[in-house]
Structure 1
């Protein structure tokens, strides 16, 4: 049954509206980053800067250690994404393929854990890390990000595992493949898009996270990029808007680039994995 033209037009309008909702803040941020102080103080702001300048970017790098903070963010985001995938993948397979009280309890924990606000866990978390001597440590921050991303990662990967036909594993067993060989040669290639999506989620979550990094990191050399961005706001709450916009725009680029590079794997990886198997 074909979709009526009016319904299809409405769908396209809704999609365009959603895209505009997502893109307008980023475009305004980019516009602000290239505006001069005079334009930023104007009572009639414009979308397109009248006299574009790179001075905000220069000041941002001169005033704050953005490159060092970006390196800290990259280290913690990549490390937490890698560990989250390594832990979540086998656990998600067990949860999806084994029906038992333990797996049902694990599924319930995944759901319940998402309801806890950060403020409730920060004090006990701080005390635990203090006893482990991991306060003001990037390793401790990575462990926190892994634990925080693990419930959603398990839920996401378990859904991918459930979508895989059991017949493929049964056929591999009939052909003489053992459990490990089946997991490596059959399940892993089919699970690739789920693993990529989970790694992307964990990476972006850790890259953008602010609250844990603010509380757990005290040494300036250990601070991540979201924390350093707050240094552009003065003691009285007045923001140095031009350098802040320039630095914030640069901080969004890694997430956008990572998604642009792997989005085809997310959408096409399932078919590619089926062919390879």
Structure 2
């Protein structure tokens, strides 16, 4: 008798997870299609009665949303590339080289992954101001890559440990260097892990707000999270306008997940099972 109840419990748990993930996104989408008058109407309307795209037009007209989008794309793309490159070399060293404190380093990475970014704001602000990196792409790419680095190293480490050493040995015999073996043998065989680490780094940078607000406050350097937040005024919260901008910000991540969901699931499950 336990099997049917257990299966029912799994279905209910899955339904809760799906609703919890989809409902906020659908609510934002429906809000972006409403007018201010309909949004404040009582009783509340869940489905837009008079759908309109004016909020999207206003979102691009009242703020340089395309510039914010481009800034986020440059910062997220640059930090992802840097994070994956450094994480691959670090994970390879931990998985293949005989380091005396490899386990201690892994424990430290787990601790760093749980470190609150808010504690880094003041020292990073002082350091980047002294280096002249505030309001620059590099000033955002470096800290964003550093924040995603611990998780990326742990993900890649779990994959690199499963690659047979004989394949690298054959590449080394053929004249390949350690870096070449990593690039041409290990990383291609760890494709799902590399993709998962890159996706996590990209989403983390795309959604990051506090450091982007502190280190790049100039209007022309704002990323999407910062730019969208500043749509509101002191006494005004234009929720339909903000929702339209949020939908624009969600599109890239949603497209990546929709197009590569199989690789994402494979990377997460294989990493969990192999690690």
TM over 0.5: yes
3-state DSSP class of the match of 1:163?
coil
Q: For residues 81-104 of structure 1, give each alpha carbon's deviation from its aligned partner in whole angstroms, at most 9, with x where no partner exists.
A: 011111111110111223433423
Task: Give the equivalent residue in structure 2 for 1:65.
Answer: 64
How far residue 261 of structure 1 moved from its aligned partner, in angstroms, is 2.2
**Counterpart check, 1:5 vs 2:4:** yes
Distance 2:171 2:267 in 1: 24
- Does the alignment pair 1:244 with 2:267? no
Identify unmatched segments of 5+ residues in structure 1: 271-277
Q: Which residue of 2 aligns with 1:88?
A: 87
Which deviates further from its counterpart, 57-66 or 109-118? Answer: 109-118
Q: Does 1:51 align with 2:22?
A: no
The offset of 1:68, in angstroms, is 0.7
Quote the offset at 1:268 in angstroms.
5.4
Shift of 1:62: 1.2
* Contact residue 153 and residue 198 of structure 1 kept, 8 A: yes
Unaligned runs of 5+ in 2: 269-275
Counterparts of residues 145-164 of structure 1 (less than 5 Å): 145-164=144-163
In the other structure, the counterpart of 2:227 is 228
Q: Is the CA contact (8 Å cut-off) linking 1:190 and 1:269 kept in structure 2?
A: no
Structure 2 counterpart of 1:140: 139
Q: Is the 8 A contact 2:196 2:267 kept in 1?
A: no
Structure 1 length as normaliser, TM-score? 0.88
Query: Could you tell me which residue of structure 1 aligns to residue 31 of structure 2?
Result: 32
Residue 156 of structure 2: SS of its match in structure 1?
helix
Contact 1:37–1:242, Cα closer than 8 Å, also in 2: yes
Distance 1:252 1:269, change over 3 A: closer
Does the 8 Å CA contact 1:213/1:223 hold for their aligned counterparts? yes
TM-superposed deviation, 1:12: 1.9
Q: Distance in 2 between matches of 1:111 and 1:231?
A: 34
1:209 corresponding residue in structure 2: 208
1:273 corresponds to: none
Query: Quick check: 1:196–1:262 contact (8 Å CA) kept in 2?
Result: no
1:95-151 CA deviation, whole Å, 9 max, x = no partner? 122343342342233122234322221111111111211011111111111111111
Q: How far apart are residue 51 of structure 1 and its match?
A: 0.9
**3-state SS, counterpart of residue 232 of structure 1:** coil
Tell me the equivalent position of 1:41. 40
Please give the residue correspondences for 1:69-218 in structure 2 after superposition, counting only pairs within 5 Å. Answer: 69-166=68-165, 168-169=167-168, 172=170, 178=176, 180=178, 182-218=181-217
Across the aligned residues of Structure 1 and Structure 2, the Cα RMSD in angstroms comes to: 2.3
How far apart are 1:182 and its partner, in Å?
Answer: 4.3
CA distance in 1, matches of 2:163, 2:46: 48
- Alignment match, 1:16: 15
CA contact (8 A) 2:68 2:223 kept: yes
Query: 2:161, 2:135 → 1: CA distance?
Result: 40
